[in-house]
Amino acid sequence: MARTDGRCLLYAGMVHAFNGESESCKSMTAQAETARQIMAGNRCLYIDFESDAASVIARLLMLGASPEDIKDNLDYIRPDVDPVSFADENSEWQQLLRNKYTLAVIDGVTEAFAVFGVKSIDNDEVTAWGRKVPRQIAARTGAAVVVVDHVTKSAEGRGRFAIGAQAKMSYLTGAAYMIEIISPVGVGMIGKVALRVGKDRPGQVRPMSGEWRKSDRTQEAAIVTIDSTVSNRILFTVDPPQRKADSNGLPVELMEAISKCVEDAPTPPSFRKINQLVSGKDENKRAAISLLEADGYLSIIPGARNAHEHHLIKPFRAKPSTELIAA
């Protein structure tokens, strides 16, 4: 999912999320990337719990894909049962996992849970589904997997999460994006939506994203323009954020300083020790530590005398490594 500046938003072989309200164009965003990949001759998988084949195919055609592109490069599936529970279905599931895909979309996670018998508020069941389905697809087929999900109706307390169990964030191995409407999208209109990164486990998207929003700890990773002014056509463009992160945006330099502090410490340091060694405001340091923990760079474990030890999982660096950006 390359922006117009050539930087990419999805990681091959990892699991991502597109989360948003109804009619926020989260499915269209996944379908637009599907269309682009199949037009490039890359094989894609679309597992649809939300819509139907006719609607998805019509959308892909409007996005520029030809019938031949769809026939040759798209595997479309609309499951009615958990494939692991039935012998014939499980055989087909195992065959699917032997394919190689560039992109795999699972559209409609809440509906998928109903098919698989998963309680959306049960963290253990959600985690098990995440390992059994999207992670298996990513690991076995090599695809960049995108799960499309809803957020709560209330903006208050929504944060970076999809509706239901918090474990929906834990099974993601790539990046999670909140999709927000900037201007309305519709027939005859030019609309815009923002992709805001809320989790970035490999750490290559945040440094190339825009300013950090404290309220939900997200950054603008891309501005998507959806042009429907031409009859039966949709022009879809993914542009860089309007502003790069700076000292007033995501604290990447502070995150790196804290990472190095933990790396160099002889024993896992407490916040008090980090606070002594790293300059900056307390609230900014706490926010930076929270981001490092959320993205899988630090783990925080209770220690002696009510202190919390900060354990390094992997180093964080402010400048991304271009070698790890997915195609």
Question: Tens of pLDDT along the chain (327 residues)?
Answer: 999 999 999 999 999 999 998 889 999 999 999 999 999 999 999 999 999 999 999 999 999 999 999 999 999 999 999 987 788 899 999 999 999 999 999 999 989 999 999 988 888 899 999 999 999 999 999 999 999 998 855 455 444 455 454 657 789 999 999 999 999 898 999 999 999 999 999 989 998 998 888 888 899 999 999 999 999 999 999 999 875 444 445 678 889 999 999 999 999 999 999 999 998 888 888 888 988 888 889 999 988 877 889 999 999 987 655 444 343
Side-chain half-sphere exposure of 7, counting CA atoms within 13 A: 16
* Residue pair 195/220 in contact by the 8 Å Cβ criterion: yes
Count of alpha carbons within 13 angstroms of residue 203, beta-carbon side: 21
Q: Which pLDDT value is given to residue 161?
A: 55
Rounded CA gap, 138 and 149, in Å? Answer: 18
The length of the chain, given as a count of residues: 327
Both structure tokens of 258: 């804290």
- Two structure tokens written together for 104: 């795999």
Q: What is the distance, to the nearest Å, from the Cα of residue 75 to the centroid of all Cα atoms in its chain?
A: 22
| 8 Å CB contact between 220 and 242 | yes
Is residue 164 within 8 Å of 179, Cβ to Cβ? Answer: no
Phi, psi at residue 47, to the nearest 5°?
-100, 115
**What sign does the dihedral 87-89-95-99 (CA atoms) show?**
negative
258: left (phi over 0), alpha (psi -120 to 50) or beta: alpha
Side-chain-facing half-sphere of 318: CA atoms under 13 Å: 16
Helices in the chain by DSSP H: which ranges?
A: 26-39, 53-62, 67-73, 87-97, 109-116, 123-132, 134-141, 167-170, 252-264, 271-277, 282-294
Cα three-residue angle 291-269-260, rounded to 5 degrees: 60
Q: How many whole angstroms separate alpha carbon 108 and alpha carbon 17?
A: 11
Give the CA distances from residue 295 to residues 20, 96, 170, 241, in Å, rounded to whole numbers and listed in that order. Answer: 20, 30, 10, 20
The residue type found at 139 is A
pLDDT in tens, 208-266: 998 888 888 899 999 999 999 999 999 999 999 875 444 445 678 889 999 999 999 99
Scored b (16 or more CB within 10 A) or e, 54-78 reads eebbebbbbbbbeeebbeebbebeb
**Which of these, 189, 184, 175, lies nearest to 145 by C-alpha position?**
175
Burial degree of 279 (CB within 10 A; 0-12, 13-18, 19+): exposed
Give yes or no for a contact between 34 and 44, defined as CB atoms under 8 angstroms apart.
Answer: yes
* pLDDT value at residue 243: 53
Residue 176: strand, helix, or coil: strand
